Amino acid sequence: MPPYPEDLSGPVMRDSPTASSNHDDPARLGGFIRAMAGVGRVADQVFLKIYSPASVTSMAHLSQLPAVTAEIDGLLSALTRDLPLYLHFFDPTLPIGSS
């Protein structure tokens, strides 16, 4: 079960007038917005823990970078696991869209 069941697309027939605009329905936009918020949280952690001058106050802090990087990588991996199927841009088995 996906973390956001409302992100599942409804049954839309290919010949229906709404088939081409199915990507604009509110549930899909909500899933995209939640995904972008997750990416923003990960980017915030990258800035605060790696690139911020406040995070590196001494040379000893540099030795903690591999652990911090692994933590952030875990956050990003968790984010990709929770994406709805229509946002699996990283899956090489899915067909490439035309839009």
Q: What single-letter amino acid sits at 46?
A: V
pTM for the whole structure: 0.62
Number of neighbours of residue 28 by Cβ within 10 angstroms = 19
C-alpha 72/C-alpha 28 separation (Å) is: 26
Give the model's pLDDT for residue 9. 54
Residue 61: Cβ within 10 Å count: 12
Average pLDDT over residues 68-86: 88
Domain boundaries, the chain: 23-87
Instruction: Answer yes or no: is pLDDT of 24 > 50.
Output: yes
Percent of all residues in the chain with a pLDDT value above 70, rounded to a whole number? 67
Q: pLDDT per residue over 26-63, tens digit each?
A: 666 777 888 889 999 999 999 999 988 888 888 888 88
| pLDDT attached to residue 66 | 93
Average pLDDT over residues 8-13: 51
